[in-house]
Amino acid sequence: MEAAEKKVPVGEYTVNYASAGSGDAVVLLHGSEPNESWRVWEPLLSLADSRKVIAPDLLGFGKSTRPEETPDHRAQAQMLRDLLDKLGIRKSAVIGGGWGGQVALEFALEWPESVDSLVLVASSYDKEQLPRLQKLRKPTLVIFAEDDMVTQLKAGYLLRDAIGTSRLEVLSTVAKDPRYDFRMSHRLQKFRAPQVLQLTRTFLAKPEAMISEPPEMENELKGKALRKEDEKDGPIWRP
The domain segmentation of the chain, as residue ranges, is 4-212
The 10s digit of each residue's pLDDT in 40-62 is: 999 999 999 999 999 999 999 99
Q: Which helix (H) or strand (E) holds 140?
A: strand 140-145
Q: What residues of the chain score a pLDDT lower than 50? A: 215-239
User: What pTM, to 2 d.p., does this model score?
Assistant: 0.86
Q: Hey, is 75 helix, strand or coil?
A: helix
pLDDT in tens, 102-127: 999 999 999 999 999 999 999 999 99
User: How big, in percent rounded to 5, are the helix, strand and coil portions of the chain?
Assistant: 40, 20, 35
Please name the residue ranges forming H helices in 111-168. 129-132, 153-162
Residues in the chain, overall count: 239
Specify the fold of 4-212.
Rossmann fold (3.40.50)
